[in-house]
Chains A and B, each alone.
Chain A
Amino acid sequence: MSDQTVTRTNDEQQSNSLTDQQPTSHTVDAETDEQLVDSWTDYEFEGEAAITVEDLDVYYGDDHAIDSISMEIPEQSVTALIGPSGCGKSTYLRCLNRMNDRIDSARVDGTVEIDGENIYEGDTDLVELRKKVGMVFQSPNPFPKSIRENVSYGPRKHGDVNVGLLGKLLGGDDSEAERRLVERSLKQAALWDEVSDRLEDNALGLSGGQQQRLCIARCLAVDPDVILMDEPASALDPVATAKIEDLIEQLAEEYTVVVVTHNMQQAARISDQTAVFLTGGQLVEYDDTDKIFENPESDRVEDYVTGKFG
C-alpha cells in the first residue's frame, strides 16, 4: 500500500465533506483546490529560513495525520499555523522538535532542517535539538516548584548552572549566574515586575496567564533559537491573552516563533505569515498574513478565514 493511495482516500473524504458543507456554489472550486494545492505553498520571503520542511508525512498507526507538507519558516518572525480541529497543525508543530517521538504509534517521514541539519537523521542529539527549539504548551504547565526553580530548571539539568552543595564542591557556585539568568528570562517573558519579590513562592500559586508566561520564561532560559507554541493562549482569559500576544510579538525580534492557534483574529494580529491547514493534514495555503486574511488564493481558505466553515 503506497502513500498515494492513502492520500487519495483523504482527498476523496475531503471533497465529500466539502460538498456537504457547500452544496450550491463551491463544488467546482473545491476540485480546483485539489489540483492546485501545492502551488499556494511556495511562499517567497526575504531573509534566511530558520526551518526548512520537506515532504513531511506523519502517521499515527494507520492514520495519515500529516500529508506531505513542505514549507520554509523564516527566522525572527511569527509564523501562525491555523486550521480546524484535527487538521494536524499541532502534530506538525510537534515534529519540529521531535516531541512526536514520545508517542509510540507515531511515524515520521521526510526531512526537517534546522541550521542546515536534518533533525530526523539518525545521530541527532535530542537534548541539543530541544535546547535549540523550545516549546510552550496549550495549558500552562509549570512544575510544582518555586518560580526560580522553574526558570532555572533547564540550565540546571543541563549542567549550565551549578548550584547547591555539589556546585560548590565541583568548582564554583553559580548562584549569581543563576540569579541573573532567572531575572533575564523573567524580564524577557514580561513577568519580572509581577514576581520579582516572590521568586521562592510556588509557581502553582500564580494566575493562569502568569503561569503561561513563566512557562515561556522557562523555555527562554535554555536560550533557544526557535520557540514553538501550541495554542498558548487558549486556556487564558482575554487580558492574559493580550499580554501573551504582546509578548509573542516582542519575542519575534530575537527568536523564530511558530504559533498554532484556533483563533483567527489572534493569528491576524500577531503573525507575519500564516499557514492554513485543512482536514486531512494538508497545508493548503501559506503566505503573508495580510494576504491570507484579505485575499487568499484558495476559496476553501477564504471560506475558512471568513468563518463560513471550520
Chain B
Amino acid sequence: MFDRVALGIVGTAIVTFLLGWTTLFDRTSPDTAVAGLSLFALFGVAFLLAGAGLIAAGIASNVGLFKTTADQYTGLGTGVAFGVVGFATGGLVTTILFGVGATGSALAGLVVALIVTLGIAVLPEDIGTTLPVGLLALVWGVLLAAGFVDVGWVWDPPSLAATFHAPIVVPLVTIALSLLVAWSGAIVAEGFGSQGRQNGAYLMIGLNAFGMIAVLLLLILFVVRKGLPTLLEGAQFGPGLSISVPFLTKGVMLGQQYNGIFPAIVGTVWLVVGAVVLAIPMGIGAAVFLTEYAEQGRFTAVIETATNALWSTPSIVYGLFGYAFLVPRFGNRNSLLAGMMVLGFMLLPLVVITSREAIKSVPDEYRDASAALGVNQWQTIRSVVLPAAMPGVVTGVILGVGRIAGETAPILLVTSGAPFPARAPSILGSFRFTATPPFVQNEALLQASSALPYQLYAVITAGVGQEEAFGWGTALVLLLVVLGFYAIGIASRIYFRRKLHQ
C-alpha cells in the first residue's frame, strides 16, 4: 500500500514533468481537453492527488502505521533547499496579493525562507521531506483545478515592466514542482533514511539530465523542421542513383530557378581545414616542448595561464587582430587565407591545452621503459608518448572545430566578401607554380569567400536578397557540417584508441 502510493506519486510527477516540457514548447496545447478537463485543470488534479498522497504517507510513517527508516531530523541541507523555494513563493505571493514592490517582496521572501529553513531542518525526516512538498503541491493543485489560474490568466506586476502569461508560467511552475514531488515521492518509496535520500537524489538528477537532453533535441528538431523544406527545395531523387539537391550544389544567381549555398559550404569547410592544418602541428609541438622538454616552473606556469586566457578571448578580438594585422599583409583585402589563420590562432590554445593534458596523462613508465632501452627522448616522444596521447589530442581538436566552424565575427572582419556568391572558391584548382619566389601561388586563397555562419548573419541582419527560409536552410546545413566534422573527429579518435588497444 505504502509503496504503491509512493510509486503512484513518482509516476504522476514524471507525467506532469514531461507534459510541462511539451506544453512549454507548444507540443501540447493548454486547451487540450482530456476527460472533460483542460490540461491545466488536469495538472491541478494531479498535484492535488500527489500532494495529498505525500502528506498522508509522511504522517502515516511518523505515527508508526508503516515501518520506515526515517531519521530523527530532516537536516539543514533539505531545510536550505526549501528555504530557497520559500523565498520565491513568499516573495511571489506577497507581490501578487498585496502588490508590494521589489524590496517588500524580497523582505517577505527572506522572512519566509528563514522560517521555512529552520522549521524544516528540525522536523522529523518523514514529515520534513513530505509535508512542505505536499502543501506546495496542494496549493498549486487548488489554484489550477479550481480555475484560479487558467489559460487566460495574466500576472502584470506594477513594479516590473514585464507581464507573465499563463502558457509560460504554468508549465514552468509545474516542471519545478514536479521535480520536487518526484524527489519526495522517491524518498517515500525507499522508506526515508539514507536509501531514500539516495533514491530521491537519483531521480531528481535523472529528470534534470533528461530535461537538458530534451531541450537539446527540441533545438535540433526545431532547426530541422524549419530548414528541411528549404534544403529539399527542388531536390530530385532518382531515377536510380542520380540525386540532385540544388540548395547544396548551387550558388545564388539571377535567373536561376533554385538558389543554393554551395559557395558558403565550401568556404566553411576550407576555413576549418586550414585552421586545423595550421593549429595541430603548432599546438602539438608547443605542448610537447612545454611538457617534455621545458623545465616545469614559473615559465611554464605563465604559458599555461596565457594559453587558458587566450582560449577564452572573445572571437571578435581575434577578428580585429586579423583585420588590423593580417589583412594589410595579404593584399589589403579580405581573404580566405586570413580567415584560416585567424581561426587557426583561435584553435591553437585549445590544442595546446588538451595536448598538454593528454601528454601529461601518458604514464611515466612508458618513458622510463624507453629510456632504459637506450632510446633517446625525441624517439620516445615520437613513437611512444605521442601515439598514446593522440586520442586526447583529437578530443581537443573536435571541441575546437565545433567552436570555430560556427564563428561569425572573425569571418565578418577578415574573410567576407559578397554574402551570397555565385561560385565557390576553387582552392585546389588555383595552385600555380612559378620559377621565381614565392614559387607557389594560389589566387583563390587570397580572395574573399562566404561562409555558412556569415551567410546566416547576412540573412538575419540585412534581409536583403534572401528571405527567412533561406536562413533556416543555412542554419540546418551549418549544423550538419559541424556534426560532420564531429563525426570525422570521433572516427579518428576511435582509430587512434584502437591502435593503442588492439
Contact = CB atoms under 8 A, between A and B. Distances in A.
A99 interface: yes
Nearest to A138: B365
A102 B368 CA distance: 9
Interface residues of B, number: 22
Nearest to B387: A144
Interface in B346-403: 363, 365-376, 379, 383-384, 387-388
A129 B371 CA distance: 11
Contacts of B374: 126-131, 154, 158, 222
Interface in A217-256: 218-219, 222
Interface in A118-167: 126-131, 134-135, 137, 139, 141-145, 153-154, 157-158
Nearest to A131: B374
Given A137-B365, A144-B500, A202-B500, A97 B372 contact: yes
Contacts of A131: 373-374
Contacts of A129: 374
A264 interface: no
Interface string A12-31: 00000000000000000000
Contact of B376 (A102, A127, A142, A143): A127
Interface string A80-120: 00000000000000000101001010000000000000000
A157 B372 CA distance: 13
Contact of B373 (A201, A205, A219): A219
A279 B73 CA distance: 54
Contacts of A154: 373-375
A219 B379 CA distance: 17
Nearest to A146: B502
A141 B365 contact: yes
Contact of A222 (B366, B367, B373, B387): B373
Contacts of A158: 374-375
Nearest to A218: B373
Given A157-B375, A222-B374, A143 B502 contact: no
A215 interface: yes
Nearest to B375: A157
A195 interface: no
B501 interface: yes
Nearest to B500: A144
B373 A141 contact: no
B366 A141 contact: yes
A202 B501 CA distance: 6
A204 B501 contact: yes
A145 B383 CA distance: 10
Contacts of A145: 387
Contacts of B295: 104
A151 B157 CA distance: 78
A143 B369 contact: yes
A218 B374 CA distance: 12
Nearest to B374: A130
Contacts of B371: 99, 102, 130
A143 B368 contact: no
Q: Which one of B365, B367, B369, B379 has the greatest number of beta carbons of chain A within 10 Å?
A: B369
Nearest to A154: B373
Contacts of B501: 144, 202, 204-205
B368 A99 contact: yes
Contacts of A142: 369
Contacts, number: 72
A129 B376 CA distance: 12
B379 A157 contact: yes
Nearest to B388: A144
Contacts of A135: 372
B366 A153 contact: no
A287 B367 CA distance: 35
A137 B365 CA distance: 8
B294 to A, nearest CB: 12
Contacts of A205: 501
A125 B280 CA distance: 34
A142 B500 CA distance: 12
Contact of B372 (A130, A139, A202): A130
B376 to A, nearest CB: 7
Interface in B58-79: none
A86 to B, nearest CB: 20
Nearest to A97: B372
B439 to A, nearest CB: 26
B389 to A, nearest CB: 11
B382 to A, nearest CB: 9
B206 to A, nearest CB: 35
B373 A137 contact: no
A219 B372 contact: yes
A135 B370 CA distance: 10
A99 B368 CA distance: 8
A216 B228 CA distance: 61
A219 B367 CA distance: 14
B223 to A, nearest CB: 41
Contacts of B368: 99, 102, 137, 141
Given A102-B368, A141-B363, A157 B500 contact: no
A202 B365 CA distance: 17
Contacts of A97: 372
Contacts of A204: 500-501
B373 A134 contact: yes
A137 B364 CA distance: 12
Contacts of B365: 137, 139, 141
A128 B366 CA distance: 20
Contacts of A141: 363, 365-366, 368-369
Given A157-B379, A202-B501, A143 B384 contact: yes
A131 B376 CA distance: 12
A125 B501 CA distance: 34
Contacts of A102: 367-368, 371
A157 B377 CA distance: 11
A154 B384 CA distance: 12
Contacts of B363: 141
Interface string A243-287: 000000000000000000000000000000000000000000000
B179 to A, nearest CB: 44
A130 B375 CA distance: 9
A283 to B, nearest CB: 23
A222 B371 CA distance: 13
A195 to B, nearest CB: 15
Contacts of B375: 127, 153-154, 157-158
B373 A153 contact: yes
A134 B374 CA distance: 8
Nearest to B365: A141
Given A143-B366, A144-B501, 19 more contacts: A99-B372, A128-B374, A130-B372, A131-B373, A134-B373, A137-B372, A141-B365, A143-B369, A143-B384, A144-B388, A154-B374, A157-B373, A157-B383, A158-B374, A158-B375, A202-B500, A204-B500, A204-B501, A215-B369
User: Which 7 residue pairs are nearest across A and B when measured between Cβ atoms?
Assistant: A130-B374, A141-B365, A135-B372, A154-B373, A144-B500, A127-B374, A157-B375
15 contacts: A127-B374, A130-B374, A131-B374, A134-B372, A135-B372, A137-B372, A143-B366, A153-B370, A153-B383, A157-B370, A157-B375, A205-B501, A218-B373, A219-B373, A222-B374
